[in-house]
Amino acid sequence: MAEAPQISSSLLGNPPQTNSVEETTAVATTGFAGSGTSFLSTTKGIIVLVLSGLAVLALILGLSLGLTVGRQNNNSCGLSNNSTGQDTDNGNTDGGTNVPDYSSNWKQPESLATSEGWFPAPRGGSDPAWVEAYQKAARLVGRMSLLEKVNVTTGTGWQMGPCVGNTGTTSVGFPSLCLQDGPLGIRFAYPITAFPAGITTAATFNKDLMHSRGRAMGREARNLGINALLGPCIGPLGRSPLGGRNWETFGSDPYLQGVAGQLTVRGIQELRVMAVVKHWLGNEQERFRRKAELGSWPKVKEALSANIGGRATREVYAWPFQDAVREGAAGVMCSYQQVNNSYACENSWLLNGLLKDELGFQGFVVSDWLAQRSGVNSVIAGMDMTMPGDGLSWADSLSLLGANLTSMVVNGTVPVSRLNDMALRIVASWYKLGQDSPKFLPKQKKPLFSSWLKDEIGPLYPRFDAQGQQMVVQNYFTDPRGQLGKDGNLSQIQIGDEDHATLARQVAAEGIVMLKNFNGTLPMSGGTIRKGPYKQIAIFGSDAAHNPLGPNGCVDRACNVGTLGQGWGSGSVEYAYIISPLEAIQARAIQDRTTVDFVLQDGGNLINSTARQVNKRGKDAACLVFVTSDSGEGYVSSEGNLGDRNDLKLWHDGDTVILSVADNCENTVVVIHSVGPVLMEAWADHPNVTAILMANLPGQESGSSLVDVLYGNVNPSGHLPYTIGKSLADYGAHAEIMWDPNWEVPQHDFTEGIYTDYKWFDKHNITPRYEFGYGMSYTSFNFSQLEITTLWNGELAEGLPSPTGLDVKNAEIKNSTLPKEKDLQFPKGWKRVSYFVYPYLPSPTTKPEKTTPMPTPYPYPPGYTNSSRNLTSTHSSSGGYQGGNPALWDPIFRVELLVTNTGKVAGKVAAQLYLTFPKDIEYDTPVRQLRGFEKVELAAGESKIVVFELTRRDISVWSEKKGAWIVPRDKGGVGVGRYGVFVGDSSRGKGVSGETEKIPRGN
Mind telling me the catalytic residues? 368
Paired with 367 in beta bridges are 334
Q: At what angle do helices 416-432 and 131-141 cross, to 10 degrees?
A: 120
With residues binned 3-state (H G I as helix, E B as strand, rest as coil), the percentages for the chain, rounded to 5, are 25, 20, 55
CA 386 to CA 537: how far, in whole Å? 54
* Ramachandran sector of residue 96 (left: φ over 0; alpha: ψ -120 to 50; beta: rest): left
Nearest to 393 by CA among 14, 21, 64, 90: 64
399 neighbors 407 (Cβ within 8 angstroms): no
Residue 110: φ, ψ to 5°? -65, -35
Distance CA 399, CA 390 (A): 4
Q: Nearest 5°: phi and psi at 507?
A: -60, -45
Q: Concatenate the DSSP letters of all residues of 867-883 into one string.
A: SPP-HHHHS-TT-SBTT
List 180's β-bridge partners, or say none. Answer: 229
φ/ψ of 228, rounded to 5, equals -135, 125
- DSSP of 561-619, one letter per residue? -SS--S-BSTT----S----HHHHHHHHHHHHT-EEEEE--SSSHHHHHHHHHHHTTGG
> Rounded CA gap, 778 and 870, in Å?
59
Q: What is the CA radius of gyration of the chain?
A: 28
Helix (H) or strand (E) holding 58: helix 54-61
Contacts with 536 (C-beta within 8 Å, 6 or more apart), sequence order: 594, 595, 596, 597, 614, 617, 620, 621, 622
- In the three-class reduction of DSSP (H, G, I as helix; E, B as strand; rest coil), residue 358 is classed as helix
Instruction: Decide: 480 and 219 in contact? Cβ < 8 Å.
Output: yes
Taken as a whole, the chain contains a residue count of: 1003
Three-state DSSP class for 230? Answer: strand
How does strand 513-517 pair with strand 689-694?
antiparallel
Rounded to 5 degrees, what angle do the CA atoms 496, 510, 903 make?
110
Tell me if residue 42 falls in helix, strand or coil: coil
Q: What DSSP letter does each residue of 501-552 carry, written as one string? A: HHHHHHHHHHT-EEEEEGGG---TT-BTTBSSS-SEEEEESGGGS--TT-TT
Going by their DSSP bridges, the two strands 668-674 and 28-31 should be labelled as unpaired
